[in-house]
Amino acid sequence: MIIAERFFHNGGWVEIFVLSFYSGFLAYKMSNQKNTAKWRMYSWLLFSIVFYGQLTLGLLGFEKFLLTGSLHVPVPAIILAGPIYRFEFAIMPILFLSTIILSGPSWCSHLCYFGGIDNVFSNSKKYPIQIPIKNKIKWKYSFLAIIIAFTILLRIVNIPPIYAAGAGIALGIIGLLIMAILSSKRKKMIHCTVFCPIGTLVMYLKFINPFRIKINSSCTSCMLCAKHCKYDALNKEDIESGKPGLTCTYCGDCITTCKFSSIEYKFPGLTAINSRLLYIIITVSLHATFLGLGMI
């Protein structure tokens, strides 16, 4: 599966060495709390660039860059819609579930090729303040139900794969428009927090992993962290309840902003600092591993 091995003998070992060095460097940079948000954005963007670079090369006929040697059009929601439409459990859902087991919701804060774009749009400098999202959970359930029902319909009427792929691409274009228009204006990741059905699944699936984010008793309810949560998971009620809302993806941006060290990672048996470092090491390792593979 390692791409360099396809080009020259033992290339895989060279790639593993380079990626090990890169992941050590990235984990070191992210371990400094002040830099975590910045390096998370850089590395997530790099992931998207490599992914879409592979897609472009695949479209141009360079098949060695593709996972199986043939092109699978990568569309948002394919992790959910793909298995429903094809009635089979393919590689993408397996990769996705592996990340949930190992590091909870990191797919939606560090690893997804589409979410990195929403992250960039939500950083727009054009608009000054973040605007909270009303009724986001209701919107999330509605979009999830619509997409599942639509995919089942495609399956029942046996729509040819080319049209199903077209529907997926249309969904991706709608997603990009949401990012460009709403995420940039509100400085929140509206696509990921409201629209994407995979994000809605992650909202619950993440609890099969033991990592958590908690707010401890030193919190003064200053609400500074809420201004830095692009997933809208730190409203007043969330902070009062001692934990972020369901849409939290453990991105860690809020931890950098709290002056009282009141918000922290938790892992059974570990201190908050070590829990955070463990989370970074696992997530960065997954990121580097995926970078080395043919992903499409």
- Phi/psi zone of residue 273: left (φ > 0), alpha (ψ -120 to 50 degrees), beta? alpha
Sole binder of ligand SF4 in the list 26, 239, 280, 282 (CB under 6 A): 239
- Work out how close the CB of 16 gets to ligand SF4 at its nearest, in angstroms, rounded to a whole number: 26
Of 64-72, 104-112, 129-137, 203-211, which segment contacts ligand SF4 by CB under 6 A? 104-112
Residue 214's beta-bridge partner residues? 264
Q: How far apart are CA 108 and CA 76, in angstroms?
A: 12
Residue list 105-144, contact with ligand SF4 (CB under 6 A):
107-108, 112, 114-115, 118
Contact call for residue 222 and ligand SF4 (CB under 6 A): yes
The answer to whether residue 203 forms part of the interface with ligand SF4 (CB under 6 A) is no
Q: How far is the CB of 66 from ligand SF4 (least distance, A)?
A: 21
Q: Closest residue (Cβ) to ligand SF4? A: 115
Q: Applying CB under 6 A, does 30 fall inside the site for ligand SF4?
A: no
Nearest distance, CB of residue 8 and ligand SF4, angstroms: 33
Instruction: Please report whether residue 78 would count as binding ligand SF4 according to CB under 6 A.
Output: no
Stretch that binds ligand SF4, among 20-28, 47-55, 177-185, 225-233 (CB under 6 A): 225-233
Residue 291 interacts with ligand SF4 (CB under 6 A)?
Answer: no
Under the binding rule (CB under 6 A), the answer on residue 75 touching ligand SF4 is no
Three-state secondary structure string covering the chain: CEHHHHCCCCHHHHHHHHHHHHHHHHHHHHHCHHHHHHHHHHHHHHHHHHHHHHHHHHHCCCHHHCCCCCCCCCCCCHHHHHHHHHCCCCHHHHHHHHHHHHHHHHHHCCCCCCHHHHHHHCCCCCCCCCCCCCCHHHHHHHHHHHHHHHHHHHHHCCCCHHHHHHHHHHHHHHHHHHHHHHHHHHCCCHHHHHHCHHHHHHHHHHHHCCCEEEECCCCCCCCCHHHHCCCCCCCHHHHHHCCCCCCCCCCCHHHHHCCCCCEEEECCCCCHHHHHHHHHHHHHHHHHHHHCECCC
Q: Give Dmax (Cα) for the chain.
A: 58
- Looking at the Cβ atoms of 182 and 263, the one nearer to ligand SF4 is 263
Nearer to ligand SF4, 31 or 257 (CB): 257
Query: Is 178 among the residues that bind ligand SF4 (CB under 6 A)?
Result: no
Q: Cβ of residue 199: shortest distance to ligand SF4, in angstroms?
A: 3
Please identify, among the stretches 51-59, 65-73, 126-134, 211-219, the one whose residues bind ligand SF4 according to the rule CB under 6 A. Answer: 211-219
Q: Which residues bind ligand SF4 (CB under 6 A)?
A: 76, 107-108, 112, 114-115, 118, 192, 196, 198-199, 202, 213, 215, 219-225, 228-229, 231, 233-234, 239, 244, 248-254, 257-258, 260, 262-263
